[in-house]
Every structure is written in C-alpha cells, then in structure tokens.
Amino acid sequence: MTTAIVWFRRDLRLADNPALVAAAGAHERVIPLYIHAPDEEGEWAPGAASRWWLHHSLEALDRGLRRHKGALQVAIAHERAPTGGEGSLEVLRKVIKETGASAVYFNLLYDPAIRKRDAKVRKALEADGLDVASFNANLWCDPWEIATKEDEPYRVFTPFWRNLRTRIDEHAALDEPTPLRLDALKKPVSIDSLGLLPELDWAKGFHEWTPGEEGAQEMLSLFADDAVGHYSEGRDLPARHGTSRLSPHLHFGEISPRQVAERLRAHFARRKNAPDLEPYLRQLGWREFGHHLLWHFPDTPKKNFNKKFDAFKWAKRDAHALRRWKQGKTGIPIVDAGMRELWATGWMHNRVRMLVASLLTKNLRQHWLLGEKWFWDTLVDADLANNAMGWQWVAGSGADAAPYFRIFNPVTQSEKFDPDGAYIRRWVPELRDAPGKLVHAPWEDEAYLKASGYPKPIVDLKATREQALLAYQKSKS
C-alpha cells in the first residue's frame, strides 16, 4: 500500500485541486499536510489580516476533510531546523519517516522566496529517492506558458489578455476526489497552536466574511445571482456590492479562476439576455497578469518596475501624514471612508484603493512602498503579486501603469461614483448628516466643518497636484 503527502499551502480546497486529485488517484492513502512556515516567506510573511483569514480557512479545510473521515494534519517548521536545512524540508522528512510516504505532491506558488524554498525542497526530496510532483492550481496558465512573439514576457496588459483569453477554456475544473482515503500523523499540532488570531479582537468587523471553500462558493453564487449582471457599471460604485469580493478566496486558493469562469458560464448557459461576462473575466485576467509579472520580475514588490522612476524625488517620509492616512483622518472624505473600511473589514473597494493610493503617492508624495506594506498587513486579500502591481500602477512606476500625470481628484471621483455620499456616510459618521455636496468636500463650509468635528484636509489638493507634476517633470528631464 503506497502513501503520498499532499502539501497544502495556498490551495485550501478539495475541488479542482490538481495535487490532491493526482495523489488520490495514484496512491492508496493520502496525508493532507499543512506546514506553518512563515519565516520561509522572508519579509513577506502573512500580515495580521491574512493570518486571521488563514486560521479560519484552515479550520474550513479541516471540516471538509472530516467528511472523508480524516483531518488536516498540521505541523510547525522551526526557523532554524536542527540539521541546518529548511524548516519545511525537515518536517516533510519527519513525516516521510513516520508514515513511509513515497511521494510528495503540491501546487505551485509564484512568490520569489517560496519559489526558492520549493526548489530546494524538491531537489533534496528527489535526492532522498522520493517522487515529487507539482501542479498549477491557482492560475489559468503558468507564467512560462505565455510570451510575446519575441519570446519575451508581456509588459502591457491588453496583448497579454488577448493571448490568455484564448486559453482559459482549455481545461475543465476537477471534481473533488472520491473516495479519498486519508492517513494521519501520530502527533499533529492544532490550528489554534499556530497563534494566527490576534490577542486583541480587532477583527470583530470581519464577521461578514466566511473563509473557506464553502464560503467562496457562496460568495460566487451571490455574485452570479445579482452583481455580475451590472458589473460594468456597478464595479465602480463603492456603496454597492458590485464586485465579486472573491479576492481573498482566490488568494488562499479556496476557489480557482477556472472554477469561477466555469460556474458563471454554466449559471447563464440557458438564459436569455445573459449578461456579458467578459468585463469580469478581464478583471481576473489582471490578477493573472500580476502573477506573471512577479514570476518574470521578482523585484517588483520592492523596486520600481520602470527604472526611470528611480530618479523620482519622493518627499521626505512624513510620519504624521502617514499616521493620519492610515487612521482615515486625512480630511478627504472618500479617502477616509476607504481607510476606515479597510481597518474595520480587512477589505477596500477597488476604486477607492486607487484613490487612497493616489493621495499617498502623488498629493503627499510618500513612497509607494509605505502604502504597499500597510495594505500587506491590513488586507485579507493581501497578495504579493497584485498588491505590488496595484501600488506601482497608481504611482506610475509599474507595468502598463497609469500615466505620471494621472492624479485622481478624490472630490470629483466621489461625486461621480458615490453621488449621494452613501459610502462616505457609512464609514465617516462625522459627515452622516452633511447636506448635499458638502459630504464630498466639507471644508467648503467652515462653520459646518467645525461643527462636525471632522478634520481639515491634510493637503491642498490643487497645490499638491501641481507640485507632484513638477516633480515628475524634473525626474523625466
């Protein structure tokens, strides 16, 4: 009887899990193993909000495995393994020795530190005589499968998407393997012992999320039943649930883009006047583009993708301004609403993400790295590829980025996309009773502003826009 280890990482689901399906099909017994090894992710170990999600996602996966009369086996990798090897490698070797497993299966991740770790682990295990197999579970195509006619990685999204779009229907999503015969360790550790939850319960507002495979499918059903039909216009309105809100589920691999596309097509297959799914599929394409960029350009989370931006003169780090930005006390209503939504729920509407990033990097001229790191700690969907791509896009230094002269005006943006101020009124209670357009720019009535208790704007939007443009022009010359 042969036994295989399935090494779970950010593929926390049972359906459409290629590593699990392959292991279950080739071996009599499967050990579903999660190794907690945040130190192996370098400076990009999961932030606080991601750890909260991970805890609940692991519990959900464990419940799914118990339907198969087994359980998720959890182990902790020490930062410095006794033999001087990688922590995860040492754990795998111990499990192999204890169980007699002859193979290790896992799904690929594309973060630079994890790629290096996985390569070392694979080489060592194969030298030990183990069979090692890896699979693509979380993208439509692996990054090395798509290239320009010159065999170069794409740097612009539109031609990338044209290429990818022809391939997204090539493979069907895999069913959950059954029967699934599971094996267990003698002394697995508990999920609670990983210490992922905060000591202070700052995550009370996260109750609207349901981490796990079942929660991902429920969120997709809600999207299919309503928002997808109005996605083109609804996705820009922060007061509405006009987006899929699947980003954290996709990040933790509780659902795959292949499952999402397949389920949406099936949902509307026999309906007349079915909505156009292309705008949403294109957004999933942007997610994929970010992962392909990270694979080909692994320095993008820390360095300007466009090296011309190395000459740009950022303002000196302003701790006071940065603190007000983080706390949602900039005096710019739409920005403060977004930052408060982020702190309360671990998520922020994508349109508002662009606005808060523009204020930080352009009006305040603080380096995009400062915003990237704050989002990394506070977003439940903090994803290295897409977080870096998003911040560099707004700053103007990234691939296919917004032009340097695109500086979002948060007042006109909120008037356009939150016209009655519903989003602002929800997250900025000081302005709940603001009359008319004052909800977007309360400083236009000094008496009202003083009475409301809301702070004055941290910057003059017009003046700082001009200063930013001047700085960009100097860096170009």
Are 241 and 145 members of one domain? yes
In this structure, are 315 and 262 located in the same domain? Answer: no
Are 365 and 280 part of one and the same domain?
no
- What is the rounded distance in angstroms from the CA atom of residue 206 to the CA atom of residue 183? 34
Query: Whole-model pTM?
Result: 0.96
Angle between helix 368-378 and helix 48-66 axes, rounded to 10 deg: 40
CATH of the domain at 119: 3.40.50.620
Examine the domain organization and report whether 250 and 157 are in the same domain.
yes
Of 139, 142, 140, nearest in space to 170 by CA: 140
What's the CATH code of the domain at 434?
1.10.579.10
Q: Indicate the number of domains in the chain.
A: 3
Structure tokens at 201: 């319960």
For the chain, 477 residues long, give each residue's pLDDT as a single digit of tens: 899 999 999 999 999 999 999 999 999 999 999 999 999 999 999 999 999 999 999 999 999 999 999 999 999 998 654 444 469 999 999 999 999 999 999 999 999 999 999 999 999 999 999 999 999 999 999 999 999 999 999 999 999 999 999 999 888 999 999 999 999 999 999 999 999 999 888 888 999 999 999 999 999 999 999 889 899 999 999 999 999 999 999 999 999 999 999 999 999 987 778 888 999 999 999 999 999 999 999 999 999 999 989 999 999 999 999 999 999 999 999 999 999 999 999 999 999 999 999 999 999 999 999 999 999 999 999 999 999 999 999 999 999 876 767 899 999 999 999 999 999 999 999 999 999 999 999 999 999 999 999 999 999 999 999 999 999 888 877
Q: Indicate the DSSP class of residue 438.
A: G
Same domain, 217 and 332: no
- 26 and 75 share a domain? yes
Asked if residue 180 is part of any domain, the answer here is: no
Complete DSSP assignment for 225-237: HTGGGGHHHHTT-
Nearest Cα to Cα of residue 321 among 330, 312, 313: 330
DSSP characters for 356-413? HHHIIIIIS---HHHHHHHHHHH-TT--HHHHHHHHHHHHT-STTPPPTT----HHHH
List the structure tokens of 89: 């490698």
Residue 279 domain flag: yes
Distance (Å, rounded) from C-alpha 326 to C-alpha 339?
6
Asked, for residue 199, whether it belongs to a domain, the answer is no
> Are residues 103 and 23 in contact, defined by beta-carbon separation less than 8 angstroms?
yes
Q: Which residues contact 439 (CB under 8 A, 6 or more apart)?
A: 333, 421, 424, 425, 431
Asked whether residue 410 is assigned to any structural domain, the reply reads yes
Boundaries of domain holding 376: 307-476
Is residue 294 within 8 A of residue 388, CB to CB? The reply is yes
Residue 264: give its domain's CATH number.
1.25.40.80
State whether 375 and 327 are in the same domain: yes
Closest by CA position to 247, among listed 140, 382, 377, 353: 382
Residue finishing a domain among 87, 111, 137: 137
Type of residue numbered 158? T
With respect to residue 200, please indicate whether it lies within any of the assigned structural domains: no
Query: Largest alpha-carbon pair distance within the chain?
Result: 80
